[in-house]
Structure 1
Amino acid sequence: MPDLPAPKPVLAGKPVLQGDTIRLAALPEGHLLHVMGATTSEEIANHLLAVNLKESTVRPAGYRQWFVAGNHQLSESQRQALADALSGGAFISDQSHGRIRIHVSGSQAAALLNKGTAVDLHPLNFPEGNSAMTLFGHISIQLTRTVGQDFELIVLRSFAQSLYEELEALALSLGGSKVGNPVWNGA
Structure 2
Amino acid sequence: MPDLPQHRSVLAGTAHSSIAASGIRLEALPEGHLLHVLGAIEPAALAAELAKAGFAESSIRKAGFRQWFVAGDQPLAHAGLEALTAALAGKAFVTDQSHGRLRIGVSGHSSRLLLSKGTAVDLDPAAFAEGSSVMTMVGHISVQIARTGDDTFELTVLRSFAESLWEDLSYMAASAVKDEA
Alignment TM-score, normalising by the size of structure 1: 0.89
The CA distance in 2 between the partners of 1:10 and 1:66, in whole Å, is: 24
Structure with greater proportional helix content: 2
1:114-164 CA deviation, whole Å, 9 max, x = no partner? 000000111111111111111000011111111211111011111000000
The answer (yes or no) to whether the contact 1:35–1:90 under 8 Å persists in 2 is yes
Aligned pairs (5 A) from 1:129-148: 129-148=131-150
What RMSD over aligned residues (CA atoms) do the two structures have, in Å? 1.6
SS of 1:59's equivalent in the other structure is: strand
1:3 aligns with 2:3: yes
Of 67, 76, 83, which residue of structure 1 is paired with 2:78? 76
The CA distance in 2 between the partners of 1:11 and 1:2, in whole Å, is: 23
SS of 2:119's equivalent in the other structure is: coil
Aligned pairs (5 A) from 1:70-149: 70-149=72-151
| Residue in structure 2 matched with residue 153 of structure 1 by the alignment | 155
Structure 1 pair 50–4 and aligned structure 2 pair: CA distance change class (3 A): same
SS of 1:72's equivalent in the other structure is: coil
Overall identity of the aligned pairs, in %: 54
User: How many positions carry a matched residue from both structures?
Assistant: 176
SS of 2:74's equivalent in the other structure is: coil
SS of 2:35's equivalent in the other structure is: strand
Alignment TM-score, normalising by the size of structure 2: 0.92
| 2:83 aligned partner, one-letter code | A
Shift of residue 84 of structure 1? 1.3
The CA distance in 1 between the partners of 2:62 and 2:114, in whole Å, is: 23
| Residue in structure 2 matched with residue 166 of structure 1 by the alignment | 168
The CA distance in 1 between the partners of 2:2 and 2:106, in whole Å, is: 39
Shift of residue 171 of structure 1? 2.1
Shift of residue 99 of structure 1? 0.7
The gaps in structure 2 that reach 5 residues or longer are: none
The gaps in structure 1 that reach 5 residues or longer are: 177-187
More displaced 10-residue stretch of structure 1: 109-118 or 142-151: 142-151
The CA distance in 1 between the partners of 2:120 and 2:12, in whole Å, is: 29
Shift of residue 2 of structure 1? 5.8
